[in-house]
Structure formats: structure tokens, C-alpha cells
Structure 1
Amino acid sequence: MKALIVGDLTLDLVEERKLRVGGPGYYGGWALKLLEVEVYLLTSMSSEYRRYFNEVYAEFNIYENPCGSIPIFAIVGGRATRVLRRGCSIPADLFKKVYREIEPEILIFSPVLGEVKNEVLASAHAYRLAEVLSLDIQGLVREVRNDSIANKWSPTILDLFGYVDIIHGNVREFTIKRGLNELLGILEDYSSHRNKLFLVSMDEKGLYMVYRGCSKYIPPVRVKAIDEVGAGDVLLAVTSYYKARGYNEYDATMKGVLAASLKVAAKSKKWFNKKVLDSLDPSRIKGSS
């Protein structure tokens, strides 16, 4: 199985101490590699910073969008709080060339700061090759104000949901409405008319999955957190993987939840493997409507 993740790799300045590789392509890509998927990334890359990504180039198949810089974020408490450097927009023509060349079963759009434009999403829908198309809204709602990051909703984002099958975002990023119940109501209404799966993460409080007009609460898996950065990327990547394998929406989501929990609790990069995740029973996590 092949997967293409579209969105920039990043460098993260963690707690003002050191730079480390990050971004959805890194965390989601690593999760898929552990599941024996052939992983491809389409990302902006600068010759100035390429040396930081030697390990990533050794593990993944990377298509570069040449850029004078890459996104660099300050990370505090597991969250990006400031933008130190920006990347470049990924051209639609480059995406279409890579997409047609790879013909992946899984296609994940995971922008970090607006680098994936509407035209790219529309072209993926028009020339559908993948079994599963997924989107993380993080980079669509981020707005930079004096180098600080805020979330701002645009009505056009709802239109983009029509191009994909699975949509993930943190509850802080789904700023359509202020209240959780109002948000779930909007997503329930949207999904009742369309075959879309929404994953609304709430950090340590678990998540809601919304599908075909119904919301289901998934409580958190109790683990000792070692590193929470990238958990949402793992959730989306692994859910997409099991959906591509034919699992139903609920069971695929449960696999994603378990994988994200294992990642958070892991002391090394061997978060899990295919045999372990395949054997875990999704019924161990009980959701409630």
C-alpha cells in the first residue's frame, strides 16, 4: 500500500531549547511506515535546512517544492504558539504530477500554514486515484498575528470538505461556533447529507467522531504521556490506513485512537507495529452517543 502526505515538514523549537523535525508528514508518515506502508511526502524544502532532515530522507520518498525557507514553529506545552519562519505554497501542477506518478491508495492533506491551496484539493477530487482522501484543517484555519498563532474560520472551508472522505481537527480549530454542541450539530447536519467522517480531537478529553448525522464520544485511553506532539497526525494517518483496508468508520477510528495513545506513551520511535495494532480490539474503547 502507498500513501502520499501533502504538507510541509517543519522544524520545531521545543520549549525554547532545541530544534527538532516535526510536521504532519513526519508524525503521520512515521506511523504509516510502522504499518509497512510505502510513504511519500510532498513538502516545501530549503537547501539551508535540508541537513536537519537526513533521517527523514532515508526513511521516506520525498518530493520537494523548492523554497527559500521552511516553517519553523515555537512549541510550548505540546502546541505551536509562534511562527518563526514560513514555507511556500505547493503548486497545483506539482501536486498533480506527483499524485499521478505515485497513484497512492491513501492521500492525506496536512497543511501547517496555508501551503495547500483550494486548487490542490479540487484537483485531487477531480482526478481521484486514492481509495481514501483525508484532510487535517490545522493549516487552513491558522492565522499569524505578530508571529503568534490564532485560529480563524472561513466559510469556504466547509466547501473543501466535499473533496475528501475524512476530516480531522482539534476542537480549538473548529471555530465555526463557540459551543461544542453547536459545532457537533453543524457537523452532524453536514455529514447526514454526505458520506464524510469527522474526527474532532479534544486533547486529554478524548474525541468525537461524527458520521452520517450522528456524534459518538470516544473517551481517552489512559496512558502516561511522554510526548503528545503529533498525536493528531497519527490519529488521522492510522484511521485513513484502516479505512483504506476496508474497516468501517468506527473501527478505523478506534485503531487511530489506539495508535495515537501508543505514540503518546512511547519512549522510543517504535510506537507500535502492524501486528500489534491489527490484534488490538477496538471494543476496548467504548464510545457513547
Structure 2
Amino acid sequence: MSDFSVAALASTALAPRIWVATLLLYGVLALASLGAGRWTAPGSALRLQINAWWRIFPVVSLSMLLYPAGPMLLSLLIAGLAVRELSSHYAGPRARFQWVCAAVLVLQTALALHSAAMATALLLALLLVQAVVFGLRRQPAQMVLLLFLLLCAGLSFLPHLLQRSPMPTVNLAWFFYLFAVTALNDIAQFVCGKCFGRHRLAARVSPNKTWQGLAGGVLASLAVSAALGGYLQLASLPLLLALGLLLSLAGVAGDLVFSAAKRRLGIKDFSQLIPGHGGILDRVDSLVLTAPLLYCGLML
């Protein structure tokens, strides 16, 4: 049997594992919901956070079911919701801002379809530098546009990630791995920060972030990366642990970038789209950096 045939069989055998892992994730969410319902008061921040994931996970699951078009549609959905949120914080004419965003989305789609990942990575790095410069200069209008550009550059790595291997199921497994590690890292940071947080991580940027929350997120990411990556047979244990650590830190960095932007804009959340989470940008800020980091890490 040829190497290609063996790889194809392995890819086919991987598909049931992805959906078993997905069901397990829903099981963990159900247990968390039961625990929150028993031990927390109605309307508590923790209960709202957990309930919000019942809105988020099904959308991600649907994008996986609609593969290969689903991840691209998910990126466009997130970008469209982001335009709506950022328009309300843009100081200039909203129509002009929306037309610029539409042009950016066309460019993003073209880069994704042509697999121009390295060009996108360079663009993302330049945008991060510009975001810092404009933040220091206190120019809110330009900051809003840069946030959208950062979002598009980061999310464009979702379709890039799904093009890296000739085996579609392997690509889909990495896509699921990315969302699972990013989401559970955020949840662990929130829970550990609420329960054990004592020392602030970046008081001026995000007062609720603590070193204890960061440690909990890192430990959770290491465990999820090792367990999920091992179950899906994605990589060796040392690589999975390294990815878990890097994705956890990148998630925090993405959160802090967008938190700093909110402080400059004088807002707490970008919107109230998702109760307990804020707006779509409040939820995907980690993904803006974890998606390109995972792609670049796998290409090294």
C-alpha cells in the first residue's frame, strides 16, 4: 500500500474522533452549566459566561459541518458582526467606515483563497505596530479601523489553516483543536481569576486579569492540548505542550490588545451581543493571535 493510501485511511479514521471530541466538549459544558446552576446565583457573571458558550459552540460546530465553506463563512460572519459593533464607536461617517471594511473583506477573502499566508502574517505584524502607535497618539477613529484590520488579518488564518494539508480531515482536526484550546483557555482564566485572583496582571489595561488567572489558563491549555491533540493524533507530546503554552500566552496577548483599545475608546465592552461576554470582538480577541500563531507554528 502506498504512503498516500495509508495517509488517506488515517485521515478517514480521524473523522469519528473529531465528532467524539466535539460531543465530549458539549458534555463538559453541560456539567459546567449544572454546576453553575447549583452553586451560583441567577444572573451571576460565571453563569452568564457559561450559558453564552451554548450560543457560541453550536455556531463553530455548524461551520465544521459545512466544511470546507463553513470556516470561511464563519470568518465572514464574525467580520460582519464586528463591522456593526465598530461602526457605533467610529467618530466619522459610518457609511464611509463600512465601505472601507467591505473593501478589506474582499481583500481578505482573496488572500485566503490564494493561500497568501505569509503576506497576511507580515500584514498582521505591521498592523500590530500601527495599533500601538495610534494608541499612543490617542487617535480613536484610526484605532477603530485598525482593530477591524487586525481582526481580518488574524481570522484570515482560519482558511489558511484548512489548506495546509492535502488531507481535509487533518485540517479540520486542527481547526477544532484551535477553537477548543482557545475557548477553554479563556474559560479557565476567567474561573481561576474569579476564584483565586489576587495579583493583577495589567491593572491599567485590564483590571480583571490576574496572574492566578493566567496560570490557570496556561495549565488548562497544556492539559487540553495534550489530551485533545493526543486523542486526535495530531502531533507529538512535546509539540502539543509547546503549542498549548504558546496559544495560551497568545490568547492573553490578544485580549490585552483589544482591552487597551477599549480603554482608549472609553468603553467597557464593544456591544451586548452575547450576555456575559459583551460583543463579538470581546469574544474573538484571543483568536486574532492564536490562529496565526498555530498556523505559523505548524509550518516551521
Same fold (TM > 0.5): no
- Greater percentage in helix: 2
Higher relative contact order (CA 8 A, sep 6+): 2
**Which protein is bigger by CA-based radius of gyration?**
2
TM-score w.r.t. structure 1 length?
A: 0.30
Q: TM-score, normalised by structure 2?
A: 0.30
Q: Which has the higher strand share?
A: 1
